[in-house]
Amino acid sequence: MPAERTLHVADSTVIVFPDADAASRAAADRIARVVAEAVPARGKAVLGLATGATPEKVYDDLAARAKAGSLSFRHVVTYNLDEYYPIQPLDPLSYRYYMHRNLFSRVDLAPNRAHVLDGTVPEAAAAGHAAEFDRWIEADGGLDVQLLGIGRNGHIGFNEPSELSPAEFADLPTRMVDLHPVTKADAVREFGSPDAVIPRALTMGVRQILAARSIIMLATGPKKAPIVAQALKGPVTAAVPASLLRTVADKVVWLLDGPAAAELG
Ligand code: GLP
């Protein structure tokens, strides 16, 4: 099996792995390393987590390390990127439920340290809840690492393509958003039919994501190849949200499998 190869696409570091499992393992390695460094240095590690199909193997890997005793979440605090709105936490389609199933129930993380935006807040309280989420992250000293996936339209979290200037986009706080048509089409896979897709969500803002001390972008599979190439090689624009990662390229690593890297040239 060929080894990984590191590319430098403009200022961005891109590591291409032989397969998705190897890319996921590398993401888990990096997260475990952040925990091992941050806990003795600051007393805690603050992780920004993602949902979707892509990070599932990362969580399997982290859960296996916790089970084996080589990684503890006792001093970890987590913040998830996003949640559908409105949705109940026990709804199997909620991201709270996803996180419970894939990670929280499998590791020694205290429930009150696992933050997922609350899909049950009354509409009138949603803006306040979103602002509070940003304050909690800041009170925890900011994110040590943010794990990201990428939507086929380039979204990060649920920060959807926008006509804002890059500077305005980079400053967006945590907030309620309408999902983009491409995102809704992709969500049919989980929701079963277009009519069942919940069209709104709460998402961590671009500001908080870009402020993380390190960022891991994990993208696998051929469907992500066009948007990965656009984000890394096209213009830095809010029309391709992930392209904004290039404004903080020195703290970002892109972990890809061969198919996702296919259009990087
Ligand atoms: C979802 C999530 C994103 C995720 C992306 C890609 O809608 N809100 O945080 O990164 O879309 O999902 P997947 O990994 O399933 O392709």
Question: Which protein residues are within 6 Å of ligand 1, measured from CB?
Answer: 50-54, 81-82, 149-151, 157-158, 183
134 inside domain: yes
14 inside domain: yes
136 inside domain: yes
> For the range 180-185, what are the long-range contacts, defined as Cβ-Cβ under 8 Å and sequence gap of 24 or more?
180/151, 180/153, 180/155, 182/151, 182/152, 182/153, 183/151, 183/153, 183/155, 183/158
CATH number for the domain including 80?
3.40.50.1360
264 inside domain: no
pLDDT band at 265 (very low <50, low <70, confident <90, very high): confident
Distance 41 CA to ligand 1 centre (A): 32
- Residue 97: predicted pLDDT: 98
- Interior CA angle at 55 toward 169 and 145, to 5°? 55
263 inside domain: no
SS (H, E, C) 155-194: CECCECCCCCCHHHHHCCCCEEEECCHHHHHHHHHHHCCH
Instruction: Report the distance separating Cα 97 and Cα 95, nearest Å.
Output: 5
Q: What is the pLDDT of residues 29-67, one digit of tens each?
A: 999 999 999 999 999 999 999 999 999 999 999 999 999
For residue 40, give its domain range. 5-257
Q: Residue 1 pLDDT > 80, yes or no?
A: no
Mutate to test the pocket of ligand 1, among 58, 81, 150, 227 (most ligand atoms within 8 A of CB): 150
> For the range 4-9, what are the long-range contacts, defined as Cβ-Cβ under 8 Å and sequence gap of 24 or more?
7/261, 7/264, 9/232, 9/233, 9/264
Q: What is the pLDDT of residues 92-143, one digit of tens each?
A: 999 999 999 999 999 999 999 999 999 999 999 999 999 999 999 999 999 9
Q: What is the pLDDT of residues 72-96, one digit of tens each?
A: 999 999 999 999 999 999 999 999 9
Instruction: Report the distance separating Cα 257 and Cα 36, nearest Å.
Output: 26
Q: Which helix (H) or strand (E) is 148 found in, with range?
A: strand 145-148
- Which backbone phi and psi does 89 adopt, to 5 degrees? -60, -25
- Provide the domain count of the chain: 1
Q: What is the pLDDT of residues 145-176, one digit of tens each?
A: 999 999 999 999 999 999 999 999 999 999 99
230 inside domain: yes
Distance 149 CA to ligand 1 centre (A): 6
3-state secondary structure of 5: strand
Beta pairing class for 114-115 and 145-148: unpaired
96, two tokens: 């709270």
For the entire predicted model, the pTM comes to: 0.98
Number of C-beta neighbours around residue 168 at 10 A: 12
User: Cα–Cα distances in Å, from 258 out to 11, 72, 169, 195?
Assistant: 20, 32, 30, 34
Mutate to test the pocket of ligand 1, among 24, 49, 54 (most ligand atoms within 8 A of CB): 54
262 inside domain: no
CA dihedral defined by 24, 29, 34, 40, rounded to 10 degrees?
A: 150
265 inside domain: no
Answer yes or no: are the C-beta atoms of 174 and 117 closer than 8 Å: yes
21, two tokens: 């499992």
Nearest CA to ligand 1 atom 5: 151
Instruction: Report the distance separating Cα 221 and Cα 263, nearest Å.
Output: 12
Instruction: Report the distance separating Cα 173 and Cα 178, nearest Å.
Output: 15
Instruction: Report the distance separating Cα 156 and Cα 32, nearest Å.
Output: 22
